[in-house]
Chain A
């Protein structure tokens, strides 16, 4: 167990004013079996009209619009989290988890993953639990891949990233989900924050015997008390922190700053 303080800031600047900006922001960490969130404060600007909702994956979101011309969009969030309260989250009935076993456009295997899966199979042959299989999958993936920013984009699929054996957390997560599907293990994409300073992070939760367990393939580690979860879905797109449409031919620049530090007691 740890007590963490977190701060998240996203700023989008437009090089010329846009109007009718409509946005959906999925950045509301919630209390679960694994983490307790307190003193949460969220600010979204412009705040002309804001409403809240919960999506089909159970993630809370804020949506709204700003009709007036503006050149800046900002999300600021801070709070505290008690983490590592449990190693798992209780899942819904197994027959309802089907959507976490089938590919999306991000997690559809191609030649390179299919070929690799054949090798991996031998290493998994003596393991029966999903959890144990996933420990092996994670270690192997970590060994195979090189962490390298800039070689993949937000649109890169698992197959494309694995083909070049390089990528960032989003790619690691998509590849691990793809491999889990091939082993018939329900797996989902998680967006959150990791202790330290930087950007938001992505990892994976896998299903085993009634629960969801967190695996962070980018860091080759089981999720315990260093991670704060924000949202989950089938892939990157289901967990987009910010989405928007607007009128105007502006260029946008996005900046994200995340700070998570332990509170010493």
Chain B
């Protein structure tokens, strides 16, 4: 049933990806290393009907998360009504007090959301985490599709699937929707960033300027781009690929040298749009994740279409009891960590480790969540000419323009290690294209 024509070109596609600079940069032991992000030619295929359910669920989730952000930095009704305990807000590093009362252009907070899902063996999809700050990864399936079409055009005549090369158009529409008047810029921390390839690729595809912090300046309450001849041009929207704390040394981390002094002041006045909004980290906090289904009910009055992985909050006594009783069946996550770090499986701990961990858990219950280990559906990958099953997840991209838009594709990441459940690319995995069938 596999299309061998496509697979025969795997090496060619990987060579082309390397030549285009599709790399993943990571810091390990204080050293910057670029590694290739290996592409596996066997696509993840999602049927039309199945994707349309995902699409509805993803839109619903992102709409609720946007309402949550607006509420948290404004009225705080969800705290008043005791749906979310206030310690989960104020003790989280994702909550930025400087954003209190700041309304982004058109009230949109999460313009580009990367929602990570896994499919269980029971075929059911579960949300693993929400990424509302600077989610990366859309460029990889975009360019992979492009190269596959070139190397194996016939495949794409035989299969009826959604063209995923429209991501740039969706992104441009999202950027233009909030642009207050002026140029559109993609702000990169520079070529040593893990996702630099993506920054430059998306700039090229959307027709936006790629700039670093030194090329942007604030003057008279507006943001300007300094062009090649030193000419200042007004900027209306910044798709910033640097994190909140480095964005503006006058408001956040004083030591930041990659940020733009006073950009936050201009943003506060509504004179420039920043994508994503500042302060979004509170909505994709691992502790807050537990409350997302409750948010959907609270803000939209609807039942969640997509489920969370079954999650327990040791903060609540009955959940703590459950966690202690079923410790070996659960995966524990430190809410302050990201990128697959701070994740431990109860069953893999030694007795001594377990004892230490439980002591810590009792001391700082708010710091952890516990989840049932989901029996993932494996996906086939090609490993040294053989087809083998591996764990994989899916990052779906939801863009918020005049309406929520779900990209009919996504980044499928897999673990190369047959025993690992962690598929984060900063821990050395590969990726696949995600095909959504159009009929």
List the interface of chain A (C-beta within 8 A of B). Answer: 22, 24, 49, 51, 53, 55-57, 63, 65, 93, 95-96, 98-99, 101-102, 234, 238, 243, 245
- B91→A102 contact, CB < 8 A: yes
In the bound complex, residues from chain A placing their C-beta under 8 Å from that of B99 are: 56
- B79→A65 contact, CB < 8 A: no
The smallest beta-carbon distance between B84 and chain A, in angstroms, is 11
Majority-rule SS of B interface residues: loop
- A49→B80 contact, CB < 8 A: no
Partner pick for A22 among B86, B91, B221, B250, CB 8 A cutoff: B250
The yes or no answer to B303 lying at the interface (CB within 8 A) is no
In the bound complex, residues from chain B placing their C-beta under 8 Å from that of A49 are: 219-220
Beyond A101-B86, A245-B250, A245-B261, list 7 extra A-B contacts (CB 8 Å).
A24-B265, A56-B101, A96-B76, A96-B79, A99-B97, A101-B90, A102-B90
Indicate with 1 or 0, residue by residue over B331-371, a CB within 8 angstroms of chain A CB atoms: 00000000000000000000000000000000000000000
5 smallest CB-CB distances across A and B, nearest first, come from A56-B100, A95-B80, A102-B90, A22-B261, A98-B86
- B265→A51 contact, CB < 8 A: yes
- A24→B91 contact, CB < 8 A: no
Contact A51-B221, Cβ < 8 Å, known A56-B102, A98-B86, A102-B91? yes
In the bound complex, residues from chain B placing their C-beta under 8 Å from that of A234 are: 97
- B98→A56 contact, CB < 8 A: yes
In the bound complex, residues from chain B placing their C-beta under 8 Å from that of A57 are: 100
In the bound complex, residues from chain A placing their C-beta under 8 Å from that of B305 are: none
A128 to B329, CA, bound (A): 46
Q: List 18 A-B contacts (CB under 8 A).
A: A22-B250, A22-B262, A24-B262, A49-B220, A53-B265, A56-B98, A56-B101, A63-B262, A65-B219, A93-B80, A95-B80, A99-B97, A101-B86, A102-B90, A238-B97, A243-B250, A243-B254, A245-B261
Partner pick for A98 among B89, B262, B268, CB 8 A cutoff: B89
- A98→B79 contact, CB < 8 A: yes
- B262→A99 contact, CB < 8 A: no
Which residue from chain B places its CB closest to the CB of A238 in the assembled complex? B97
Contact A53-B269, Cβ < 8 Å, known A22-B262, A24-B250, A98-B90? yes
The smallest beta-carbon distance between A252 and chain B, in angstroms, is 15
A56 to B102, CA, bound (A): 7
A96 to B98, CA, bound (A): 14
In the bound complex, residues from chain A placing their C-beta under 8 Å from that of B21 are: none
Which residues, 260 to 288 on B, are CB-close (under 8 Å) to A?
Answer: 261-262, 265, 268-269
In the bound complex, residues from chain A placing their C-beta under 8 Å from that of B269 are: 53
For this complex, into which size category does the number of interface residues on chain B fall?
A: 20 to 34
A56 to B250, CA, bound (A): 14
Which residues, 75 to 125 on B, are CB-close (under 8 Å) to A?
Answer: 75-76, 79-80, 86-87, 89-91, 97-102
The yes or no answer to B437 lying at the interface (CB within 8 A) is no
The yes or no answer to B428 lying at the interface (CB within 8 A) is no
Indicate with 1 or 0, residue by residue over B398-430, a CB within 8 angstroms of chain A CB atoms: 000000000000000000000000000000000
- A65→B218 contact, CB < 8 A: yes
In the bound complex, residues from chain B placing their C-beta under 8 Å from that of A245 are: 249-250, 254, 261
The smallest beta-carbon distance between B363 and chain A, in angstroms, is 14
A245 to B257, CA, bound (A): 10
- A53→B268 contact, CB < 8 A: yes
A198 to B56, CA, bound (A): 64
A63 to B90, CA, bound (A): 28
- A63→B100 contact, CB < 8 A: no
Which residue from chain B places its CB closest to the CB of A55 in the assembled complex? B98
The smallest beta-carbon distance between A232 and chain B, in angstroms, is 12
The smallest beta-carbon distance between B335 and chain A, in angstroms, is 16
In the bound complex, residues from chain A placing their C-beta under 8 Å from that of B97 are: 56, 99, 234, 238
The smallest beta-carbon distance between A163 and chain B, in angstroms, is 22
- B221→A99 contact, CB < 8 A: no
Which residues, 194 to 234 on B, are CB-close (under 8 Å) to A?
Answer: 218-221
In the bound complex, residues from chain B placing their C-beta under 8 Å from that of A99 are: 90, 97, 100
- A51→B76 contact, CB < 8 A: no
A229 to B341, CA, bound (A): 46
In the bound complex, residues from chain A placing their C-beta under 8 Å from that of B87 are: 102
In the bound complex, residues from chain B placing their C-beta under 8 Å from that of A51 are: 220-221, 265
The smallest beta-carbon distance between B399 and chain A, in angstroms, is 28
In the bound complex, residues from chain A placing their C-beta under 8 Å from that of B91 are: 102
A101 to B95, CA, bound (A): 14
Which residue from chain A places its CB closest to the CB of B89 in the assembled complex? A98
A36 to B90, CA, bound (A): 33
A98 to B100, CA, bound (A): 12
- A95→B79 contact, CB < 8 A: yes
The smallest beta-carbon distance between B277 and chain A, in angstroms, is 14
Which residue from chain B places its CB closest to the CB of A64 in the assembled complex? B262
The smallest beta-carbon distance between B32 and chain A, in angstroms, is 26
The smallest beta-carbon distance between B218 and chain A, in angstroms, is 7
In the bound complex, residues from chain B placing their C-beta under 8 Å from that of A22 are: 218, 250, 261-262
A49 to B266, CA, bound (A): 14
In the bound complex, residues from chain A placing their C-beta under 8 Å from that of B102 are: 56
Which residue from chain B places its CB closest to the CB of A52 in the assembled complex? B221
A231 to B359, CA, bound (A): 42
In the bound complex, residues from chain B placing their C-beta under 8 Å from that of A101 are: 86, 90
In the bound complex, residues from chain A placing their C-beta under 8 Å from that of B101 are: 56
A238 to B99, CA, bound (A): 13
Which residue from chain B places its CB closest to the CB of A233 in the assembled complex? B97
The smallest beta-carbon distance between B163 and chain A, in angstroms, is 43
A53 to B263, CA, bound (A): 12
- B249→A95 contact, CB < 8 A: no
In the bound complex, residues from chain B placing their C-beta under 8 Å from that of A93 are: 80
In the bound complex, residues from chain A placing their C-beta under 8 Å from that of B268 are: 53
The smallest beta-carbon distance between B339 and chain A, in angstroms, is 24
A93 to B86, CA, bound (A): 14
Which residue from chain B places its CB closest to the CB of A103 in the assembled complex? B91
Which residue from chain B places its CB closest to the CB of A104 in the assembled complex? B97
The smallest beta-carbon distance between A7 and chain B, in angstroms, is 27
A57 to B75, CA, bound (A): 15
In the bound complex, residues from chain A placing their C-beta under 8 Å from that of B79 are: 95-96, 98
